[in-house]
Amino acid sequence: MTEITSPRVYQQDEVTVIELGEEYENLDEAVLTDLRNLILKAVDEADPPLVVLDLSHTKFFGSSFIELIFRAWTRLQARDGGKFVLSGLMPYCKEVIEITHLDQLWTLYDSVDEAIVGIQS
């Protein structure tokens, strides 16, 4: 069993990146409690308020995770110049975002590097 470690939160070119590693392949309720606090804290502390959520290792998430990223996006929208984007979505996760039309709220990028360029423009 893979040990759950904290996601990696770092700054790249003045953008906060929240990178969920391989242990976040399946974002079920058991994982979300700690993850919720970490993501919302990273969003609140992002300076400038530009955040990329890297989901390149995540193969499944449900409505509870969508609610969490919606809350993160809402917090960033309330800040001057706040932007929130998603990167590295696996096919199933990308389909969920597109079917629910959430890709109209959040721009989707294939990689973190593309997301950083996009969020700064």
Position 37: which residue type?
Answer: N
Backbone Cα Rg of the chain: 13
Tens digit of each residue's pLDDT (9 = 90 or more) over 34-74: 899 999 999 999 999 999 999 999 999 999 999 999 999 99
Is pTM beyond 0.85? Reply is yes
Distance in angstroms (rounded) separating the CA atoms of residues 17 and 44: 13
Q: Are strands 8-12 and 15-19 parallel, antiparallel or unpaired?
A: antiparallel
* CATH superfamily name and code, 11-119: STAS domain (3.30.750.24)
